[in-house]
Structure 1
Amino acid sequence: MQKKVSVIVPVYNSEKYLYDCLDSICNQKYSNLEIILVDDGSTDSSGTICDDYAKMDSRIYVIHKKNGGAHNALVAGIEIAEGEFIGFVDSDDWIDSDMYRCLVDTIGDSDLISSGIRWYGKDGTIVQTRYDALPPGIYDAQDNNTCRKFFIRDGAYEGVGVGGITNNRVCKLFRTSLVKSVYRQADQKIVNGEDFLFCFLYLLRCKTIKVIHSAFYNYRYNESSVTHNPNPRFLEERARLYDTMLSAIKDYSKDDMLYTFFQQRFLYELYSMLDYNLGINPSISFPMYRFPNEKLLSGKRIIVFGSGRCGISYIKLFLWNRLCSVVEWIDNNPSTIQIMNISPRLPNTILQTEYDYIVCAINNQNAAQNMIEQLMEMGVNRDVILWEKPINIFADVFLQSHSFDERVC
């Protein structure tokens, strides 16, 4: 007999995407589901849509409640979950039809199975697919060396995620008994970092986890999401997050090095998100990315393509170090930012500019390829277009596990 999976979906004003989300869950090839929809005080038609689906599918249970935030909505669903496993889906995303069948068939006796996640950009195309920065396999979560790698990337394996195990709860399958235990301890006042906190607390309770490099979850960029808006209470919430996590380490682990590894990871998260969440002007923020092959640019005339965080970092470092001459800064959607009297302009300005190289300032390889193709369509020679995976300065500082003397472990 199939083991029951409780799928919890917090819903708030997501009528635009809710049909896609619910259809993808109801049409799962794994049928023994308990689908819990928590309408967190939606003011659009989301609540009605949930009720309509409940009438069509007996596996669906709807909770209507006063708005209390994502964490509060999750707790409401978790409290009534009866399945052996719990999965989470955000109401503006969707999942592949074989997601829960594959996760249940693969988890075995492990307390957690973690899979990949596809990220879709504003234009609906896949920006990247993220997997855990650990090779596929079964891991002993009680082993100190292994546990540390859950939080800091293993230097022997190149992955996309910041830590060994991604923060995303939606691409994982959890055991219900452990989930209920975790959410009793989690701080409901923490909004930004709630996934980080939950996954952290859950991992500390695991005996074994399984990692697979298959992606079933489809994450949709949604500008109205709380995770894509500045949070004026960011520092306050991060302080609460830090205290909660430190307390958990003391309760569940005697490994002093895990404490240090956690501090590395926490500092990275803090520094990398500080300027955005506090609304700090990007022109005065510290550069986060560096172009890997700077020697190639020495003394050259450079056009920087991209005005996001990577582009801003490149512009600052090129200008500060006087490594090269920045003759133009371009972007398809130029912002009003100005750095040392240089502001981004539309790409067609390069037709009147003399240059040696165009440097694509973007972190994602797929996006970089699109930029390269755009430039070539404009008549730019491929040989003068440069892109390399940017060096994350903050990651180098905070996330290098080999920076510690392993002999003390």
Structure 2
Amino acid sequence: MTPEDLLVEADRCVKCGLCLTVCPTYRLLASEADSPRGRISLIQALAKNEIDLHSHAELHLDRCLNCRACEAACPSGVKYGSLLDASRASITLEHRKKPLLKQLLHQLSHNDRLNNWIRLYHMARKSGSLALIRKLPVKRFRQLLAMAEQLPRTPVNRTGFYPSTKPTGKKVQLFTGCIGSKIDDKLVQNAIQLLSGLGYAVDIPASTGCCGAMHRHNGFIREAGQQCDAIRGQTGRSNAQNLITLATACHLELAEQQASRLPLISMSDFLLQLPDREMPELAPLPIRAALHRPCSSRDSTDWQILNKIPQLELVELAENELCCGAAGSYLLTQPEISNQLGEIKLNHLKASGAKILITSSTGCAMQFRQQIRQAGLDIDVHHPIELIHQQWHRAGVATEQPVSSA
């Protein structure tokens, strides 16, 4: 988006305020500068050189979750997310901001580097160094360490080719992402086993990495574009039927950037499109589960696939239209606001009486797990596909097989 395009899009905002009630930061902070229309005013003023970054404009722009709830409420159809991304990119380019965040994202978005950090983290944990680091008066460090508790005990790498258990000749490519490929390793294994059992060979190319969303939303447009280009090249060389995603944020980024040469589909949608005769048999699960809808996916797909599980009592988490505070890297860059929003969601979860929290977002799952652990609650957090896989095996129609590539 050029500076001229940015101003044209920003001018479409009539400042009506219908976005205020759905904006998490405005509701929390009660500050006009932390509302969508307030931030658009700041973006306009920055673009026209009427104010500079030292006027706290960057602070208020950084506080935005980019949840885009305001877009759904906007009668003018303002593309707020694109405005924010373009403005952050301009700030980062012109002022060379956030070098530490850029380096952190660089480490997190490459599987080999992330595996090295997993090794280093557990070495520091065994040596007692983490106890010293936790005493540092820097909330972002403490938040990063809290999230690191969810990393696997050993580095994992699921890239490779996984043959089907049936001679169907069908093949799909599975997009596992960067952080999700480590934290959600059980989910990745479950997806491979499900697809293989349904007659689909699964390909996870060694070059599989980050979708670019975290870079794009923090203003690092060039790096985000490079990651999308790599995925285009990778999928363009494949003869697979689909590129299947697991995390909603990755799916949204790949879809909006048209980063896949293969037809893009989420794992839940893939299962829903199967003929009834091919849908795996699922055992009953008589338990109450609360569904959290991520900002990156407001549709009913998760609800529909979970309703395939007999006796599952599924309830919507209250205020599902509001962000949980994870928002990609936001839980690291704005830990105080992120935690406050997470606590609100936790209270809704406790009020629901659910024994399971279900969400299809890696970031949201991390946020809920941390909040649940801090509160000392006994509530499990699952991806919808994990529950589908669990009940598939409990139905006795599948044999658990270790996941190892061919």
Q: What is the TM-score with the length of structure 2 in the denominator?
A: 0.31
More helix per residue: 2
Point out the structure with max Rg over C-alpha. Answer: 1
